[in-house]
Amino acid sequence: MSERERVRELVRGARRIVVFSGAGMSAESGVPTFRDAQTGLWAKFRPEELATEPAFRANPSMVWDWYVSRREAVARVAPNAGHLAIADFQRRHPGRLTVATQNVDGLHQRAGSPGVLALHGNLADDKWLDVPCERCDLAVEAGRPPRCAHCGNLLRPAVVWFGEALPARVLAEAESAARACDLMLVVGTSGAVYPAAGLARMARGQVVVVNPQASDLDDAADVVLRDTAARSLPYLLED
Protein backbone atom coordinates (compact mmCIF):
# COMPACT_ATOMS: atom_id res chain seq x y z
CA MET A 1 0.00 0.00 0.00
CA SER A 2 1.36 3.45 -0.89
CA GLU A 3 1.62 6.17 1.76
CA ARG A 4 -1.27 8.02 0.09
CA GLU A 5 -3.48 4.96 0.24
CA ARG A 6 -2.47 4.39 3.86
CA VAL A 7 -3.56 7.94 4.75
CA ARG A 8 -6.82 7.48 2.87
CA GLU A 9 -7.50 4.40 4.99
CA LEU A 10 -6.73 6.42 8.13
CA VAL A 11 -9.28 9.03 7.00
CA ARG A 12 -11.89 6.36 6.38
CA GLY A 13 -11.37 4.85 9.81
CA ALA A 14 -11.27 8.12 11.77
CA ARG A 15 -14.34 9.34 13.61
CA ARG A 16 -12.81 12.69 14.57
CA ILE A 17 -10.43 14.46 12.21
CA VAL A 18 -8.63 17.76 12.65
CA VAL A 19 -7.11 19.60 9.70
CA PHE A 20 -4.42 21.93 11.05
CA SER A 21 -3.40 24.25 8.22
CA GLY A 22 -0.82 26.90 7.49
CA ALA A 23 0.13 29.20 4.67
CA GLY A 24 1.01 26.34 2.29
CA MET A 25 -2.70 25.44 2.26
CA SER A 26 -3.32 28.63 0.27
CA ALA A 27 -0.14 28.59 -1.84
CA GLU A 28 -1.91 27.01 -4.80
CA SER A 29 -4.55 29.76 -4.60
CA GLY A 30 -1.73 32.22 -5.21
CA VAL A 31 -1.28 33.55 -1.66
CA PRO A 32 2.45 33.72 -0.88
CA THR A 33 3.57 31.79 2.22
CA PHE A 34 5.22 33.68 5.07
CA ARG A 35 8.63 32.23 4.68
CA ASP A 36 8.64 32.80 0.90
CA ALA A 37 10.23 36.00 -0.23
CA GLN A 38 7.87 38.96 -0.09
CA THR A 39 7.11 40.58 -3.38
CA GLY A 40 7.05 44.12 -4.78
CA LEU A 41 6.86 47.07 -2.46
CA TRP A 42 7.24 44.93 0.65
CA ALA A 43 10.22 42.87 -0.48
CA LYS A 44 12.53 44.80 1.79
CA PHE A 45 10.58 44.03 4.95
CA ARG A 46 10.24 40.82 6.89
CA PRO A 47 6.69 40.07 8.14
CA GLU A 48 8.13 40.03 11.67
CA GLU A 49 9.02 43.72 11.23
CA LEU A 50 5.55 44.74 10.02
CA ALA A 51 3.26 42.43 11.97
CA THR A 52 3.84 43.79 15.47
CA GLU A 53 2.12 46.37 17.65
CA PRO A 54 5.29 48.49 18.04
CA ALA A 55 5.67 48.56 14.22
CA PHE A 56 2.06 49.71 13.85
CA ARG A 57 2.41 52.39 16.52
CA ALA A 58 5.66 53.62 14.97
CA ASN A 59 4.33 53.73 11.42
CA PRO A 60 0.59 53.10 11.27
CA SER A 61 0.12 54.15 7.64
CA MET A 62 2.86 51.87 6.35
CA VAL A 63 1.63 48.82 8.27
CA TRP A 64 -2.01 49.61 7.39
CA ASP A 65 -1.09 49.88 3.70
CA TRP A 66 0.67 46.50 3.89
CA TYR A 67 -2.55 44.95 5.24
CA VAL A 68 -4.62 46.71 2.59
CA SER A 69 -2.37 45.19 -0.09
CA ARG A 70 -2.76 41.74 1.48
CA ARG A 71 -6.55 42.16 1.71
CA GLU A 72 -6.66 43.12 -1.95
CA ALA A 73 -4.44 40.18 -2.90
CA VAL A 74 -6.67 37.72 -1.02
CA ALA A 75 -9.83 39.20 -2.55
CA ARG A 76 -8.44 38.45 -6.03
CA VAL A 77 -7.89 34.73 -5.39
CA ALA A 78 -10.19 31.78 -4.74
CA PRO A 79 -10.17 28.67 -2.55
CA ASN A 80 -8.23 25.83 -4.22
CA ALA A 81 -9.07 22.14 -4.66
CA GLY A 82 -7.66 21.44 -1.18
CA HIS A 83 -9.92 23.91 0.62
CA LEU A 84 -12.89 22.65 -1.42
CA ALA A 85 -12.16 18.97 -0.69
CA ILE A 86 -12.16 19.72 3.05
CA ALA A 87 -15.44 21.64 2.88
CA ASP A 88 -17.03 18.89 0.74
CA PHE A 89 -15.98 16.27 3.27
CA GLN A 90 -17.55 18.36 6.05
CA ARG A 91 -20.80 18.59 4.09
CA ARG A 92 -20.88 14.83 3.56
CA HIS A 93 -19.84 14.06 7.16
CA PRO A 94 -21.26 16.75 9.45
CA GLY A 95 -19.38 17.10 12.73
CA ARG A 96 -16.57 14.72 11.79
CA LEU A 97 -13.85 17.19 10.73
CA THR A 98 -12.68 20.40 12.42
CA VAL A 99 -10.48 22.97 10.70
CA ALA A 100 -7.97 24.83 12.88
CA THR A 101 -6.00 27.24 10.74
CA GLN A 102 -3.14 29.67 11.21
CA ASN A 103 -4.25 31.42 8.03
CA VAL A 104 -5.93 34.80 8.15
CA ASP A 105 -6.97 34.75 4.48
CA GLY A 106 -10.52 33.42 4.99
CA LEU A 107 -10.19 30.84 2.20
CA HIS A 108 -11.38 27.87 4.28
CA GLN A 109 -14.46 29.92 5.21
CA ARG A 110 -15.03 30.98 1.58
CA ALA A 111 -14.77 27.32 0.51
CA GLY A 112 -17.70 26.63 2.86
CA SER A 113 -16.02 25.06 5.88
CA PRO A 114 -18.21 25.61 8.96
CA GLY A 115 -16.84 26.64 12.36
CA VAL A 116 -13.26 27.33 11.26
CA LEU A 117 -11.00 27.91 14.26
CA ALA A 118 -9.00 30.94 13.09
CA LEU A 119 -6.04 30.79 15.49
CA HIS A 120 -4.45 33.98 14.16
CA GLY A 121 -7.63 35.98 13.49
CA ASN A 122 -9.05 37.20 10.19
CA LEU A 123 -7.48 39.60 7.73
CA ALA A 124 -10.90 40.96 6.76
CA ASP A 125 -11.75 42.19 10.29
CA ASP A 126 -10.63 45.30 12.15
CA LYS A 127 -10.51 46.11 15.84
CA TRP A 128 -9.52 49.13 17.94
CA LEU A 129 -5.85 49.46 18.83
CA ASP A 130 -6.56 50.86 22.28
CA VAL A 131 -9.55 50.48 24.59
CA PRO A 132 -12.35 52.27 22.70
CA CYS A 133 -13.96 55.41 24.08
CA GLU A 134 -17.76 55.65 24.16
CA ARG A 135 -17.76 57.39 20.75
CA CYS A 136 -15.20 55.24 18.85
CA ASP A 137 -17.72 53.10 16.98
CA LEU A 138 -19.87 56.11 16.04
CA ALA A 139 -17.11 58.48 14.99
CA VAL A 140 -14.99 56.41 12.58
CA GLU A 141 -13.07 58.78 10.33
CA ALA A 142 -11.71 57.42 7.03
CA GLY A 143 -7.93 57.33 6.76
CA ARG A 144 -4.86 55.15 6.63
CA PRO A 145 -5.72 53.75 9.13
CA PRO A 146 -9.23 54.94 9.98
CA ARG A 147 -9.39 56.64 13.38
CA CYS A 148 -11.89 57.77 16.00
CA ALA A 149 -12.61 61.45 15.33
CA HIS A 150 -13.25 61.93 19.05
CA CYS A 151 -10.25 60.32 20.81
CA GLY A 152 -7.83 59.51 17.96
CA ASN A 153 -7.88 55.73 18.60
CA LEU A 154 -6.79 53.80 15.50
CA LEU A 155 -8.39 50.82 13.80
CA ARG A 156 -6.00 47.90 13.23
CA PRO A 157 -6.43 44.53 11.53
CA ALA A 158 -7.92 41.88 13.83
CA VAL A 159 -5.04 39.46 13.35
CA VAL A 160 -2.60 38.11 15.91
CA TRP A 161 0.68 39.97 15.72
CA PHE A 162 4.05 38.69 16.89
CA GLY A 163 4.21 38.97 20.66
CA GLU A 164 0.42 38.82 21.08
CA ALA A 165 -1.71 36.10 22.63
CA LEU A 166 -3.93 33.91 20.47
CA PRO A 167 -7.69 34.31 21.02
CA ALA A 168 -8.13 32.19 24.14
CA ARG A 169 -11.45 30.54 23.29
CA VAL A 170 -10.34 29.61 19.77
CA LEU A 171 -7.06 28.14 21.04
CA ALA A 172 -8.86 26.19 23.77
CA GLU A 173 -11.33 24.72 21.24
CA ALA A 174 -8.49 23.76 18.90
CA GLU A 175 -6.59 22.11 21.75
CA SER A 176 -9.58 20.08 22.84
CA ALA A 177 -10.25 19.04 19.23
CA ALA A 178 -6.59 17.96 18.94
CA ARG A 179 -6.75 16.00 22.19
CA ALA A 180 -9.91 14.24 21.07
CA CYS A 181 -9.04 13.45 17.44
CA ASP A 182 -8.25 10.08 15.90
CA LEU A 183 -6.41 11.73 13.04
CA MET A 184 -4.77 15.10 12.44
CA LEU A 185 -3.81 16.26 8.96
CA VAL A 186 -1.11 18.93 9.30
CA VAL A 187 -1.22 20.73 5.97
CA GLY A 188 1.13 23.39 4.65
CA THR A 189 2.79 24.68 7.79
CA SER A 190 6.46 25.07 8.61
CA GLY A 191 5.51 24.34 12.25
CA ALA A 192 7.84 27.12 13.36
CA VAL A 193 5.38 29.35 15.21
CA TYR A 194 4.08 28.44 18.67
CA PRO A 195 1.68 28.01 20.37
CA ALA A 196 -0.19 27.02 17.18
CA ALA A 197 2.39 24.43 16.13
CA GLY A 198 1.98 22.73 19.51
CA LEU A 199 -1.43 21.44 18.36
CA ALA A 200 0.29 18.80 16.25
CA ARG A 201 2.17 17.59 19.32
CA MET A 202 -1.07 17.36 21.34
CA ALA A 203 -2.94 15.21 18.86
CA ARG A 204 -4.28 12.09 20.48
CA GLY A 205 -4.49 10.10 17.26
CA GLN A 206 -2.34 9.58 14.20
CA VAL A 207 -0.59 12.62 12.72
CA VAL A 208 -0.08 13.04 8.99
CA VAL A 209 2.04 15.88 7.61
CA VAL A 210 1.22 17.04 4.07
CA ASN A 211 4.01 19.30 2.84
CA PRO A 212 6.21 19.23 -0.27
CA GLN A 213 9.18 20.34 1.88
CA ALA A 214 10.63 19.27 5.22
CA SER A 215 8.89 20.92 8.19
CA ASP A 216 9.56 21.28 11.91
CA LEU A 217 6.63 18.95 12.59
CA ASP A 218 7.86 15.99 10.53
CA ASP A 219 9.18 14.39 13.72
CA ALA A 220 5.67 14.47 15.24
CA ALA A 221 4.18 12.66 12.23
CA ASP A 222 3.24 9.02 11.83
CA VAL A 223 3.16 9.55 8.07
CA VAL A 224 4.73 12.32 5.98
CA LEU A 225 3.31 12.94 2.50
CA ARG A 226 5.64 15.00 0.32
CA ASP A 227 2.82 16.49 -1.70
CA THR A 228 0.87 19.71 -2.04
CA ALA A 229 -2.49 20.51 -0.46
CA ALA A 230 -4.47 20.91 -3.68
CA ARG A 231 -3.01 17.74 -5.23
CA SER A 232 -3.39 15.45 -2.23
CA LEU A 233 -6.50 16.44 -0.27
CA PRO A 234 -9.13 15.67 -2.95
CA TYR A 235 -7.77 12.09 -3.07
CA LEU A 236 -7.30 11.69 0.67
CA LEU A 237 -10.79 12.95 1.54
CA GLU A 238 -12.70 11.19 -1.22
CA ASP A 239 -15.31 8.67 -0.01
Q: Which residues would be at the binding site for ligand OAD (CB under 6 A)?
A: 22-24, 27-28, 33-35, 47, 51, 102, 120, 160, 187-190, 192-193, 210-213, 215, 228-229
The residue (of 89 and 161) whose beta carbon lies closer to ligand OAD is: 161
Catalytic residue among 83, 108, 120, 150: 120
The residue (of 26 and 136) whose beta carbon lies closer to ligand OAD is: 26
Q: For every residue of 146-157, which 3-state class applies, written as one string?
A: CEECCCCCEEEE
Identify whether 120 is a catalytic site residue.
yes
The DSSP secondary structure of 133-145, one letter per residue, reads -TTGGG-EE-SSS
Closest distance to ligand OAD from the beta carbon of 135 (Å): 31
Do residues 140 and 148 make contact, with C-beta atoms less than 8 angstroms apart? Answer: yes
Rounded Cα distance, 148 and 140, in Å: 5
Closest distance to ligand OAD from the beta carbon of 119 (Å): 8
The residue (of 7 and 210) whose beta carbon lies closer to ligand OAD is: 210
The residue (of 110 and 231) whose beta carbon lies closer to ligand OAD is: 231
188: left (phi over 0), alpha (psi -120 to 50) or beta: left
**Residue 184 pairs with which residues in a beta bridge?**
18, 207
Closest distance to ligand OAD from the beta carbon of 129 (Å): 17
Rounded Cα distance, 208 and 157, in Å: 32
Closest distance to ligand OAD from the beta carbon of 142 (Å): 26
The residue (of 133 and 158) whose beta carbon lies closer to ligand OAD is: 158
CB-based contacts of 209, cutoff 8 Å, min separation 6: 186, 200, 215, 217, 218, 220, 221, 223, 224, 225
What is the sign of the dihedral through the CA atoms of 84, 86, 90 and 95? negative
Q: Which residue is nearest to ligand OAD (CB)?
A: 24
Among candidates 133, 152, 132, 131, which has minimal Cα distance to 143? 152
Closest distance to ligand OAD from the beta carbon of 104 (Å): 7
**Residues labelled catalytic:** 120
